[in-house]
């Protein structure tokens, strides 16, 4: 590939493509946003204005006939298009990043990962919240032993959206893998497993709270990890008052933090990762570590979404590890499927070991 920037084709210029992928690609040394695929006139104009160096393409099929003009494809389209478009990229011999969730079903995700292996083409999944500052801080505290033996991990991703927004995420069909469990749960489950390892039991409550809701907008998931830690995860679009973002309870101390990582809001406002203070939170937002009233603030690590694409570029150039193993993403989708089953049946379900 030489020293020239790796040429990236981006499929989709909705929220995922425009807010997350395009600016992060543009900010990564060694990558160049070369093509944006969207037929929507308004989004084409946005892409032309925000990334004038990128060519605009109406249909993904046009990319596959010009595969030699690209080095990487990013799939940032609605969830039900992830698998067919990623499969087309693999067939064209192009490494591919797929936005989370990898697939609507674990079976489809596993087949896609196996196909990437057969073809020898890199495949990874955009789990950007592995690079949230609060998650990085939690991982450091757990690894450092300051909490002692962890008994319970609590994690919330809550919003107040009493009116359903238009679009497939909140108004789509089940086949489109919409709803908060696929959207927010894919982050929270992945983070819990990264912190505390595989899961042996799962229990969930999944609801549609708003009038005329077609997909779930309020969910709770309880995971029992093989090491004994219990993760309690809340995700909601109908939380009028927000709980702690994370709370970790250990036998020596606990750590509690409030508020979302600031990177998404910064990206929505046009911020870029090379800005001074990127990903940082002010000291008044630091989490508190300790027991009873003996608490001290712990500086939150700076979030770094830009690290995801830096690792992708390194993997393609030097063979370094990809930032996310697609099998991790398959395991997350499997847990989401089991959570839906648990909610329907009203029972705790065992989690089979991976194949």
Q: Which of 201, 14, 179, 45 is nearest to 104 (CA)?
A: 179
Q: Where in the chain is the domain with CATH 3.30.360.10?
A: 129-305+335-350
Please name the residues in contact with 163: beta carbons below 8 A apart, sequence gap of 6 or more.
210
The CB density around residue 299, as the number of other CB atoms within 10 Å, is 12
The CB density around residue 154, as the number of other CB atoms within 10 Å, is 19
Please name the fold of domain 129-305+335-350.
Dihydrodipicolinate Reductase; domain 2 (3.30.360)
- Domain 6-126 CATH superfamily: NAD(P)-binding Rossmann-like Domain (3.40.50.720)
Match 């695929």 to its residue by tokens.
37
Predicted TM-score (pTM) of this structure: 0.95
- For 252-280, give one letter per residue: b (16+ CB within 10 A) or e: ebbbbbbebbbbbebbeeebebeeeebbb
Q: Where in the chain is the domain with CATH 3.40.50.720?
A: 6-126
Burial category of 175 from C-beta neighbours within 10 Å (exposed 0-12, middle 13-18, buried 19 and up):
exposed
Element (H or E) spanning 221, and its range? strand 218-225
What one-character DSSP code corresponds to residue 252?
Answer: S
pLDDT tens by residue, the chain, 355 residues: 567 899 999 999 999 999 999 999 999 999 999 999 999 999 999 999 999 999 999 999 999 998 999 999 999 999 999 999 999 999 999 999 999 999 999 999 999 999 999 999 999 999 999 999 999 999 999 999 999 999 999 999 999 999 988 766 676 665 678 899 999 999 999 999 999 999 999 999 999 999 988 899 999 999 999 999 999 999 999 999 999 999 999 999 999 999 999 999 999 999 999 899 999 999 999 999 999 999 999 999 999 999 999 999 999 999 999 999 999 999 999 999 999 999 999 999 999 988 7
Query: CA–CA separation, 6 vs 72, rounded Å?
Result: 7
Is 81:172 a contact under the CB 8 Å cutoff? no
């Amino acid at each position: 590939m030489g020293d020239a920037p790796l040429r990236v084709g981006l499929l989709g210029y909705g929220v995922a493509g425009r807010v997350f992928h395009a600016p992060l690609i543009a900010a990564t040394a060694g990558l160049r946003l070369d093509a944006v695929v969207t037929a929507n006139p308004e989004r084409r104009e946005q892409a032309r204005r925000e990334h004038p160096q990128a060519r605009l393409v109406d249909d993904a099929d046009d990319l596959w006939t010009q595969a030699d003009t690209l080095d990487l494809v990013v799939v940032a389209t609605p969830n039900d298009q992830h698998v067919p478009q990623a499969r087309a990229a693999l067939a064209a011999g192009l490494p591919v990043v797929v936005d989370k969730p990898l697939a609507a079903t674990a079976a489809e995700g596993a087949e896609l990962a196996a196909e990437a292996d057969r073809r020898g083409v890199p495949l990874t999944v955009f789990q950007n919240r592995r690079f949230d500052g609060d998650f990085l801080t939690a991982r450091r505290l757990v690894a450092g032993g300051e909490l002692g033996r962890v008994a319970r991990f609590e994690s919330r991703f809550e919003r107040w959206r009493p009116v359903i927004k238009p679009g497939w995420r909140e108004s789509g069909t089940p086949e489109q893998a919409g709803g908060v469990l696929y959207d927010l749960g894919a982050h929270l489950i992945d983070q819990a497993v990264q912190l505390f390892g595989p899961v042996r039991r799962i229990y969930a409550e999944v609801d549609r709270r708003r009038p005329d809701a077609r997909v779930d907008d309020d969910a709770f998931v309880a995971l029992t990890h093989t090491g004994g830690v219990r993760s309690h995860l809340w995700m909601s679009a109908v939380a009028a008052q927000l709980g702690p973002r994370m709370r970790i309870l250990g036998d020596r101390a606990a750590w509690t933090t409030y508020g979302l990582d600031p990177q998404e809001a910064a990206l929505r406002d046009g911020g870029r990762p090379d800005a001074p203070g990127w990903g940082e939170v002010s000291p008044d937002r630091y989490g508190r570590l300790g027991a009873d009233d003996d608490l001290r603030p712990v500086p939150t690590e700076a979030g770094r979404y830009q690290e995801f694409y830096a690792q992708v570029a390194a993997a393609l150039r030097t063979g370094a590890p990809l930032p996310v193993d697609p099998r991790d993403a398959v395991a997350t989708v499997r847990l989401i499927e089991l959570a839906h089953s648990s909610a329907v049946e009203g029972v705790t379900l065992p989690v089979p070991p991976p194949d």
